[in-house]
Amino acid sequence: MPSFLHLLRRLSPTRASAWKWLSVGIGVKRWLVVLLFGITLLSLGAAYVLVEMYREQPFPDFVYYLTLQFLPRALRAILFGAFGIGIVAFALYKVNEALLAGMPTRPTSLVENLYRKKMRQRGLKIVCIGGGTGMSTLLRGLKNYSDNLTAIITVADDGGSSGKLRAELGLLPPGDFRQCIAALADSEPLMARLLEYRFPNDSGLGGHAFGNLFIAAMAGVTGNSERALLESSRVLAVRGRILPSTLENVTLCAEVRGTHEEQVARVFGESQIAKFGKPVERVYLEPERVPAYPGATRAILDADLLVLGPGSLYTSVLPNLLVEDICAAVNVSNAQKLFVANVATERGETDGYAVEDYFRALHKHCEGLELDGVLVNANTSGNLPPQAQIDFVVARETNSAYAFANVVDDERAWRHDSEKLARAVLHWYTKQTKSPPLVNEIESQLRQLELQQKHGSRETVKQ
């Protein structure tokens, strides 16, 4: 049976938010009790003074009615107590309103922000494994529901700005880390735009993203890439952690089909695999046996939910699993394991792939991998750009492990929508697990966000 507080949360967002002050673990009630105790002591001291004055000094007749002396003392105590609590609550509300009015960016509701923060801190331990745009899209949605996020990122990128900085400064390629930092940063949208800004090609910094240079500069200040990621996350108030799968300098290599079916060609470098344009047989790291980053394996073993993808199959997701300790940790982890299939195929890498082809590639490269589910896009009605020569990823066969949901971006049908994807992942988890308190809390957050978005849409229409 749902609790009284849980029922109250189903009310309109405005009414429900007021009751969140009573939520367990929000960290406010204890200080309200202390405040009430202090006011009680102060009132008791004032009462002694007033009683003494009343006994010693004569008062006009209206004081008799003002102090309600014609009522029993017990009733007087209740009335004065209730009236006093009401005044204190109103005063605290107005003080809170006055303080928030002075902030540069005023929160819509202090209790709502505080409640969400506490709920996120107690949220699921989610580990996402991948890289690229797909990973940052997923993280951008999940950060609204949990602060216990860990993104494990491939370090095999050798193209573009990341490749130049990696070759010239000996850093871990910062590109994928930059995208994840921008997605998880608890800051103004302008900061995310700043991190993603690329300098014009005709300038001395042509092609470089500001975020890449920021991470490179932080590595110079702190001494290494590992410390640079930690400090960059701290400075930009990142929710969760962003970790490399390994600290070693690795090269992603691939075996692809040659001109004839029996021929196999080798491609060296992550940036060259898609350019080759031939079906990929397998990918591997050079050197092949590298140690995993210890923090990454600990996060996997401690996770409630492991999410593989979305992202480029051979150049973002699988390079992490090619680190043997990462693959082993995923296999032995007790977490629920979900693979998020891409919305569309990727030219030069997964041409013509269905969900089953992604599934087979994962098992081929990470022996013993057992997944609890596969999240597949159910909306294939959008328009794909014909010049890109890509198709929607669909399932050829029926499988009980497949979960279907509309997760596409309404404006870019070949990509995931952050919020839709996060909700689909959490809905899948709530169906898989049987832990009612946690499930109810996640479902409650999802319902509240939907109500608030509908309420906000109505207000926009009115305006």
How many C-beta atoms lie closer than 10 Å to residue 240's C-beta?
25
From residue 424, how far is each of 145, 304, 421, 439 by CA, in Å?
12, 16, 5, 14
Please say whether the dihedral angle defined by the alpha carbons of residues 176, 181, 182 and 183, taken in this order, is positive or negative. Answer: positive
**CA-based Rg of the chain, rounded to a whole angstrom?**
29
| Residue environment code for 97-112, b if the CB has 16+ CB neighbours within 10 A, otherwise e | eeeeeeeeeeeebbbb
pLDDT at site 116: 60
How far apart CA 403 and CA 405 sit, in angstroms, is 7
Please list the alpha-helical segments (H only) found in 185-323. 189-196, 210-222, 225-235, 270-276, 294-301, 318-321
Query: Whose CA is closest to 393, among 423, 410, 415?
Result: 415
Query: Whose CA is closest to 18, among 27, 31, 5, 30?
Result: 5
Geometric angle at alpha carbon 283, from 321 and 355, rounded to 5°: 70
Query: Whose CA is closest to 412, among 131, 137, 130, 151?
Result: 137
How far apart CA 168 and CA 174 sit, in angstroms, is 13
How is the chain split into domains, by residue range? Answer: 4-112, 118-436
Q: How many residues does the chain have?
A: 463
How far apart CA 128 and CA 409 sit, in angstroms, is 20
Question: Which of helix, strand or coil describes residue 457?
Answer: helix
How far apart CA 354 and CA 362 sit, in angstroms, is 13
Residue corresponding to tokens 């470089």: 208
From residue 104, how far is each of 101, 186, 187, 450 by CA, in Å?
8, 15, 13, 27
Please list the alpha-helical segments (H only) found in 316-435. 318-321, 324-332, 355-365, 418-432
Amino acid identity, position 117: K
Residue corresponding to tokens 């590992």: 226
How far apart CA 18 and CA 8 sit, in angstroms, is 10
pLDDT at site 103: 55
Query: Whose CA is closest to 174, among 183, 187, 165?
Result: 165
| pLDDT of the chain, 463 residues: tens digit per residue | 444 444 444 444 444 455 555 565 556 677 778 877 888 888 888 888 877 777 777 777 777 777 777 788 788 778 888 888 888 878 877 777 776 665 555 445 555 555 566 566 667 899 999 988 999 999 999 998 888 999 999 999 888 888 889 988 988 999 999 999 999 987 667 778 888 899 988 888 888 999 999 999 999 999 999 999 999 988 888 889 999 999 999 999 999 876 666 678 889 998 888 887 778 999 999 999 999 999 999 999 999 999 998 999 999 999 999 999 999 999 999 999 999 999 999 988 899 999 999 999 999 999 999 999 999 999 999 899 988 889 999 999 888 899 999 999 999 999 999 999 999 999 999 889 876 555 556 666 666 666 665 555 444 334 4
How far apart CA 453 and CA 448 sit, in angstroms, is 9
Residue corresponding to tokens 């204890």: 30
Phi then psi dihedrals of residue 259, to 5 deg: -65, -40
pLDDT at site 458: 47
Question: Which of helix, strand or coil describes residue 2?
Answer: coil
**Is the bond leading into 287 cis (omega within 30 degrees of zero)?**
yes
pTM, 2 dp: 0.76
* Helix pair angle (225-235, 175-184), 10° resolution: 20
CATH superfamily of 118-436: CofD-like domains (3.40.50.10680)
